[in-house]
Amino acid sequence: MAVVEQVGEPLLATLRGRLRGTRTLLVLDNFEQVVEAAAQVPALLEASAGVKVLATSRMVLHVQGEREYPVPPLALPDPQHLPAREVFS
């Protein structure tokens, strides 16, 4: 889905218009880097009942309806049982 910024129209209004009536999964990756934008997420969700948001973040966004799924860090491999070096060539 292409979203083109319109001169003289706030970007949030443009996004809401583009999302209206769609079934869209909006993925916001590393959202902790722009966490101040979390206040705009409800406006995007209100654009259409078919809009869902999946946000990855190191912090809770405090948005109504938010569900937190903590994901633990990946374990490091055991240095004594690493694959043969040729596998990475």
9-34, pLDDT tens digit by residue?
998 899 999 999 899 999 999 999 99
d(CA 55, CA 34): 11
Q: Is residue 2 part of a domain?
A: no
Q: Is 86 helix (H, G, I), strand (E, B) or coil?
A: helix
d(CA 66, CA 5): 28
Which pLDDT score is estimated for 44? Answer: 87
- Range of 37's domain? 9-59
Range 40-50 average pLDDT: 88
Which pLDDT score is estimated for 88? Answer: 56
Segment 50-67, tens digit of pLDDT = 999 999 998 888 888 889
d(CA 31, CA 61): 9
Q: Is residue 73 part of a domain?
A: no
State how many domains the chain has. Answer: 1
Q: Is this prediction's pTM over 0.85?
A: no
